[in-house]
Structure 1
């Protein structure tokens, strides 16, 4: 027959003994279902067999019993006092004993037994709550991960459609307008057609930027390092901010798609925040490897900010971009930190497990 799983954990039982003994100012001990003392105010008793308790646990249904001075002589190691069964889930989980004269120790022992039973129930509820919270967090992470995957897939589809269809159509229009301008006999009409061509060319550039913002083809085709190099070049031209990018340690390396996507989006969000808020002239980006982990650092020489602002809304809006970065890192079981101070610039630090394709 399989042995029942013990209810009383020794460490938990000892913490209860310490509390009860301090309150009652008496010696207290707890025995398990086999009559072994697992917690005691007297450390030397722990691990010894309480013969009287073992006898009652195996040979009777008694809920409580006393130990007299005569019993002390009969059973070595047993001290006079009063012992009460610890009831939990309709089982005797063991006995709790309070030493002293049985008549005076009895009410204390009964009170201590009720306290231990209540503590066991409270501990079970707490463990159940923690388990529920873990399951809820795991479900939340799973759903969030799925949402991100769907978003990235939709971004990829739209980006390819913009690149393959819309860009080609605009390119054909630009070429057609150029040919049409060359065939115009009047200079005024030729200038109008060329002006329309410039508008179409500007639209094509905007479509290219939008396609890259949505999902760069380089990220899927060549990986993180080339995609960041292209994005850094475009960013520097668009905002006039000097960007120094170091991806030498990961050049030619391919990692799991979720890792590459997360790091790319984090760098993208960090650079967007720098352009909007930092008033920086210089940005340093470094992606590297440290043992079995990838790290990413984005640093600027901007005006910085007080860290308390992360818990507040900016211009009436919460810092959703920063929370989004943090959520992406948590999904990868990584570490995320923002270091900043007024006038001292800002550094975004990310470290995640480096799982390769």
Structure 2
């Protein structure tokens, strides 16, 4: 939207008026798009901050309470002299253990600490393990190390792209295998997520299936000055590629 109608001393006054009006409209459109982009950035930032807060609360409070419950139940089991009570305590400990595992999994899903502590490659491996544990889909990761490490904002954006692409492969694609590849290409980090699922019509999906998160993936990558491409062919799988510069 950088083109403008040039002014000229030789132009007809009505033409100049139309040109001026058009330029004003283009300026306003550019400003509106800039405001929309800023708003999208603020929304995504607020979401990430809230995710991190909830994840910390789950890990530091809820998980600790459940751990304490399990310890108390263990103590009660050692002191119990009634077989019926013993059986009930065992059941309660199993339920508490399941709840603790769910809380930990939810905390990692909301904001994985491994991303902050060990970096993007380790976080992708964690995603793959979670996906393999939940179903029959084979998820493989081929990630190179970055020195210096990928900036936190870029790592977070690429992680969310991988998470969303993997979620789509699980929910919509009926995929048997997903490959996640992270590589260094020139001065950019490149993430590829490719599945062997049923594929889909990309243009139609963006109009009719907002739940697939395509807009969110593009916005996240755009906010770190990157580009996202998506290729999908019905019955031939889907390939998502996010390319983000590591230098400003």
- CA distance in 1 between counterparts of 2:21 and 2:244 reads 34
Kindly indicate whether structure 1 or structure 2 has the higher relative contact order, using CA contacts under 8 Å at least 6 residues apart: 2
**RMSD value, Cα:** 2.0
* Residue range with higher mean Cα deviation, 274-283 or 176-185: 176-185
d(CA) in 2 for partners of 1:248 and 1:311? 31
Runs of at least 4 residues of structure 1 off by over 4 A? none
SS of 2:231's partner is: strand
Q: Is the contact made by 1:312 and 1:319 (CA closer than 8 Å) also made in structure 2?
A: no
Partner of 1:228: 124
How many angstroms apart in 2 are the aligned matches of 1:355 and 1:206?
38
Among candidates 243, 250, 275, match of residue 170 of structure 2: 275
Alignment of 1:252-291 (within 5 A): 253-291=148-186
Residue matched to 2:235? 343
Aligned to 1:241: 137
Larger Rg: 1
- TM-score in terms of structure 1 length: 0.64
Normalising by structure 2, we get a TM-score of 0.90
Consecutive unaligned residues in structure 1, runs of 5 or more? 1-5, 9-92, 95-112
2:226 is matched with which residue?
334
1: distance between equivalents of 2:218 and 2:122? 24
Which of 199, 211, 221 does residue 304 from structure 1 map onto?
Answer: 199
More strand by share: 1
Q: Distance in 2 between matches of 1:212 and 1:332?
A: 23
In the alignment, does 2:220 pair up with 1:324?
A: no
Q: How far apart, in 2, do the equivalents of 1:240 and 1:189 lie?
A: 38
Q: Aligned residue for 2:54?
A: 158
Number of residue pairs matched?
A: 243
Q: Is residue 255–residue 355 contact of structure 1 (8 Å, CA) maintained in 2?
A: no
Q: Equivalents in 2 of 1:120, 1:266: separation in Å?
A: 47
Tell me if structure 2 keeps the 8 A contact 1:270–1:298. yes
1-side partners of 2:201 and 2:33: how far apart? 30
Deviation at residue 289 of structure 1 after TM alignment: 1.8
**Residues 293, 123 of structure 1: alpha-carbon distance in 2 compared, 3 angstrom cutoff:** farther
